[in-house]
Amino acid sequence: MSAEFEFRHAEKIVFVRYLGVVTANSCDETFSQYVENYTHPATYNILVDFSQAEAIDMSFQQMLSISYRRDTVYRRWGQTRMALLAPETPIFAMARMYAAAAHQADFLEAEAFRDRDEAMAFLAADPAQP
């Protein structure tokens, strides 16, 4: 598994793309890397792209742990939106579970999408609007 990320400054988005089999360790490593490189004063939304991932190899408990460990960072960033792009059904199901867990935090709004245009529209929308 490999992952890559980039900061898209014009859109104020952290773009994360996973390739191959996604594991809890690969998610933690990628998150740590982009947090270390995050030096921007403005809040950036996050697009997590699983469209090139083959599978997700982690338990529901591991997925919840990842969600809870990231809360401290996202709280510091302020109101943040996260779009999880997962066109394939098994990965989409896990993305929806992650989004549901993330909704426990009032500073992070996460949604799972199968369509890139819908995901980008969600990230561009005003988070203060329903």
pLDDT tens digits, 9-31: 888 888 999 999 998 888 888 88
What is the model's pLDDT at position 124? Answer: 87
Q: Does domain 2-124 have CATH number 3.30.750.24?
A: yes
Q: What are phi and psi of 79, to 5 degrees?
A: -60, 120
Domain boundaries, the chain: 2-124
pLDDT of residue 40: 66
Q: What is the mean pLDDT of the chain?
A: 84
**Residue 20 backbone class (left: φ over 0; alpha: ψ -120 to 50; beta: rest):** left
DSSP code at position 104: T
Per-residue pLDDT of 62-88, as tens digits, reads 888 877 777 777 777 778 889 999 999
- Using CA of residue 99, residue 84, residue 66, residue 43, what is the dihedral sign? negative
Give the helix/strand (H/E) hosting 108: strand 108-113
